[in-house]
Structure 1
């Protein structure tokens, strides 16, 4: 975000927050539930987050809401950065897309968006911020939406912007459960669905055709590896060379390295030391990456947005956690394994052991 964008956001907050903080916030704790099941015909979920992983971790809430209210009209307010992930989502009836950079630079565009938001009327608005992180934009947009019931997590800075605020637990659970707990205020018996994104069939076929054009065969065991992640999350390049050699030699896997612009130079340093039949893909769009992940047997990564996207695409994953909270963000289920990495240590042998555990349950689509 540029300095101009930060300034515009700050000014907007200073002007609007005192005006909109007009209703008292009722703070409730986990285990509370509304005494009567309310009728929700139209629901808005506010989640304009620029982090892919957080959006994917929210998808079980979408599934649970659609299962509980199959006839409800569900709208999702998100940023334009990852809106493509939800364009074909069968759980969402309408996307409200915030073009944040354009709106900050041109107030008329922002006013037009807010006018459209205010034109809608909802029975329930869910401010779907993480229990441990405050999003002023999310709270403000939830307050601007026309509804009598706004639900989210209780934060010091969002007092008066929500009607009902759930007190964050002292010990945070898994991120998917934190989103679902907002729904459990109304339906205490909700189960936990898996993370899921709906990929159009033509997008999946794009990945199939791509791998075929790169020389992959139906019988090939395909593994995608992502070195990226911010700061300490990034996998150490030298150790990835050793891991790649073992994957190729001991398991007969063919490797696909995916990277963004910030990882290209990092990956270039070790390309000559990787198995000769490795493939390198840089700058894939989110849908292209999802299509690729739906066509490989295993995805290896640090705790990044693409890791959670792989889980939502049905791909088996092996993840390396260093600075992130494993209990909060680790993928769950028999198709997923995790290891912890400490300073000066890369758990190569443990990773290889986990690969051996995953292969019997890994699913390969084999569409080529």
Structure 2
């Protein structure tokens, strides 16, 4: 907490200082020569995996509209592996924020490495309602001729193409796509997607075989994570898992992340033949595991975005966030969003029953 407070104070001071020195020439889309765009940098060095996943439609659109361009991504050390071996990006730059605080010269070396690429276009892909000094400043330091992002307080210090925030309520993926639409005009965006490596699929299959889960088993993933008020009670998840394995011919795997390391100690497997507590996996393996699940039950978490992005039918429980902006898109997914911020277990059971009835291969178990 103290570190965060010091970080915020330092950022506010830095913005004030930079305000005396940075003056950007303001450009409009008419000033941009799209035919000369050969190197593109997308910046979202965020410690929340979902925010990176939500930028994938932008990456797909860049691939489609600038097929000859090299697309690079600047991500944080925490989740940069999300795009390893991805066809959406050609190169990944890994920002190590805390290292730069204690070793400033390493930041200088990092910036030099980026500037050597001579980028033509850089995207500050932060949220339209929240100014990110890290993303905006890195866009400026990249040396890109065109630096685009949403118009926010202080963004004019770093960007020369500012996009007015939209008054319309829309999905976060559309928010990122609108940055590109500002330059090239309207177009249809692709779905949110993450590619799964074949080797990671094989690793997951081997792991599940060791847990007595065959390829024919109907596997339901339950992610117990969530930040603060977004988190459904662990007791609710375990109660739901017990009901599922008692009611249906299926198996349940509890999935968790580093932040849930202490919490999962409270999970007791009632039926060890049908319930599994997963290991803690690297992100590319986690993507393969969520892809293997036939259904994924989760709060508004990074794992929710990952599940939907790999095409797994997802039942998302939204307790304290906006499903219109962050919910999984598509008919395969279902969102439960209560008006009072509470989701009883019985409501979730009803939705699961509906899902199970639509899947002939899942039989109700006889008691």
TM-score where L is the length of structure 1: 0.89
Q: Deviations over 1:221-278 (max 9, x none)?
A: 1011011111111111232233223322333220000123442443333415566531
Q: Which residue of 2 aligns with 1:141?
A: 138
Q: What corresponds to 1:23 in structure 2?
A: 24
Structure ranking higher on relative contact order (CA contacts 8 Å, 6+ apart): 1
Give the 3-state SS of the residue equivalent to 1:146 in structure 2.
coil
Alignment correspondent of 2:152: 155
Partner Cα distance (2:198, 2:284) in 1? 11
Deviation of 1:129 (Å)? 0.8
Q: Equivalents in 2 of 1:336, 1:95: separation in Å?
A: 30
2:242 matches 1:245: yes
Aligned to 1:105: 102
Q: In structure 2, what is the equivalent of residue 329 of structure 1?
A: 326
- Asked if residue 179 in structure 1 is aligned to residue 176 in structure 2, the reply is yes
Q: Structure 1 residues 279 and 151, CA, compared in 2 at 3 Å: closer, same or farther?
A: same
Instruction: Give SS of 1:186's match.
Output: helix
**In the alignment, which of 84, 92, 114 is matched to residue 111 of structure 2?**
114
Number of matched pairs: 358
Cα distance between partner residues in 2 of 1:165 and 1:143: 13
SS at match of 1:112: helix
- The answer as to whether partners of 1:57 and 1:176 remain within 8 angstroms in 2 is yes
Task: Report the CA distance shift for 1:261/1:94 in structure 2 as closer, same or farther (over 3 A).
Answer: closer
Write the distance in 1 (CA, Å) between the matches of 2:357 and 2:58: 29
Counterpart of 2:11? Answer: 10
Match of 1:80 in 2: 77
Give unpaired runs (5+ residues) of structure 2: 362-367
The whole-number CA distance in structure 2 between the counterparts of 1:318 and 1:122 is: 40
Deviations 1:88-123 (A, max 9, x none): 111211111112222221011111111222222122
Matched-pair contact (CA < 8 Å) for 2:39–2:117: no
Match of 1:292 among 289, 292, 297: 289
CA spacing shift, 1:116–1:265, aligned 2, 3 Å: closer
Match of 2:365 in 1: none
Q: Which residue of 2 aligns with 1:307?
A: 304
Question: What's the CA shift for 1:11?
Answer: 8.2
Q: Contact conserved, 2:297 with 2:315, CA < 8 A, in 1?
A: yes
Counterpart Cα distance in 2 of 1:52 and 1:15: 30
Counterpart-to-counterpart distance in 2, 1:9 and 1:131: 22
2 CA distance for matches of 1:113 and 1:254? Answer: 46
TM value normalised by structure 2: 0.89
Q: Does 1:38 align with 2:34?
A: yes
Q: Who is 1:124 aligned against?
A: 121
1:282, CA displacement in angstroms? 4.1
Contact 1:298 1:315 in 2 (8 A): yes
In structure 2, relative to structure 1, the CA distance for the partners of 1:25 and 1:253 (3 Å cut) is farther
2:239 match: secondary structure? helix
SS at match of 2:237: helix
Q: How many angstroms does 1:130 deviate by?
A: 1.0
Counterparts of 1:138 and 1:233, CA distance in 2 = 26
* Aligned 8 A contact 2:245 2:275 in 1: no
| Structure 2: distance between partners of 1:156 and 1:261 | 34
User: Is contact 1:339-1:347 (8 Å) kept?
Assistant: no
